Amino acid sequence: MSNRGMLIVLSGPSGVGKGTVRQAMLEDEFRDFHYSVSMTTRKPRPGEQDGVDYYFVSREEFEQEIANDGMLEYAQYVDNYYGTPMKYVNQTLDSGRDVLLEIEVQGAMQVRENCPDGVFIFLTPPDLLELRNRIQRRGTDDQATIDKRMQKAADEIKMMENYDYAVVNDEIPNAVQRIEKIIESEHLRVPRVIDQYKKMIGE
C-alpha cells in the first residue's frame, strides 16, 4: 500500500549466517526484494561479475563517492573499501520496491543514522539465550573459556539493542519466515500508510 519502498537491513554478529539467510530470501519466488549490490575496491575474483556480485571501482572512485556523501555506509577491511552506494538504494525505494541490505553491524549503525525509517533486523545465534545453561550443563570448560564466551554473548546483546527486531537463526527457513512476517507487518504500520489515506481525502 505504501508508495515508497521499505529499506530492510539484515545484520548480526559475524558467523551467524546473514549471507545464507539473505540468499534464501532472494531465492523465494513469491517475494520481490531488491538486493542492494555493494561497492568495493577489491579486485574481482574469478567468476564474479561487476554489478552482480559487487560494483568494482578504483580506490579514487570510492573515495570520490565518500567525499560526495554518496555512501549509505562503508568500511575499510584489509586495505579495501566496502560499502553501499546511496544512489541505487534511493532509486529502488522511490520506484516502490523494498530494498534488502545484508551488512555488518558497524555498517548497519551508519544506515540507521541516514535512514531512521528503515527496518533493522538483528539475526541472533540460536544458542544465545541458552548459552549459560549449555555451558553449565556441559561443565567441561575452564573459567577463561566460559568468561570469553559470556563476554562475546554480552557484546552481541549490546549490539541487538540498536535494532528493531531480533530473529533467531535456528533453521534457515524459520528465520526467513520470521523476517518475511516482519516485512509484511511493517508495511501495515500507520506511519507508512497514513499519507496515502490523507492524500485521498485531499490533505
Tell me the binding residues for ATP: 12-19
**Site stretch for its own copies (CB under 8 A), options 69-77, 82-90, 97-105, 189-197:** 189-197
Q: Which is nearer to its own copies, 59 or 132 (CB)?
A: 132
**150: its cell numbers:** 559470556
Q: Which is nearer to its own copies, 76 or 196 (CB)?
A: 196
Task: Report CA-CA distances (Å) from 191 to 7, 26, 115, 186.
Answer: 14, 27, 15, 10
Scanning residues 68 to 97, which ones bind its own copies (CB under 8 A)?
Answer: none
CA atoms within 13 A on the CB side of 153: 17
**22: its cell numbers:** 539473505
The minimum distance between CB 157 and its own copies, in angstroms, equals 5
Residue 148 is a binding residue for its own copies (CB under 8 A): no
**Among 118, 106, 110, residue whose Cα is nearest residue 71:** 110
The minimum distance between CB 106 and its own copies, in angstroms, equals 18
Residues of the binding site: 12-19
Cα 174 from Cα 121, distance rounded (Å)? 14
Cα 192 from Cα 203, distance rounded (Å)? 16
**Site stretch for its own copies (CB under 8 A), options 97-105, 108-116, 138-146, 154-162:** 154-162
Contact 182, 100 (CB under 8 A): no
Q: Which is nearer to its own copies, 1 or 67 (CB)?
A: 1
Residue 122 is a binding residue for its own copies (CB under 8 A): yes
Site for its own copies (CB under 8 A): which residue of 150, 170, 173, 174?
150
Residue 10 is a binding residue for its own copies (CB under 8 A): no
Cα 28 from Cα 32, distance rounded (Å)? 8
Compute how many residues bind its own copies; rule: CB under 8 A.
Answer: 37
Site for its own copies (CB under 8 A): which residue of 164, 171, 173, 174?
164
All residues at 6 or more sequence positions from 125 whose CB lies less than 8 Å from its CB, including other chains: 13, 15, 16, 156, 168, 169
Residue type at 141 in one-letter notation: D
Residue type at 180 in one-letter notation: E
Which residues of this chain interact with its own copies, rule CB under 8 A? Answer: 1, 122, 128-132, 150, 153-154, 157, 160-161, 163-168, 178, 181-182, 184-186, 188-190, 193-194, 196-198, 200-203
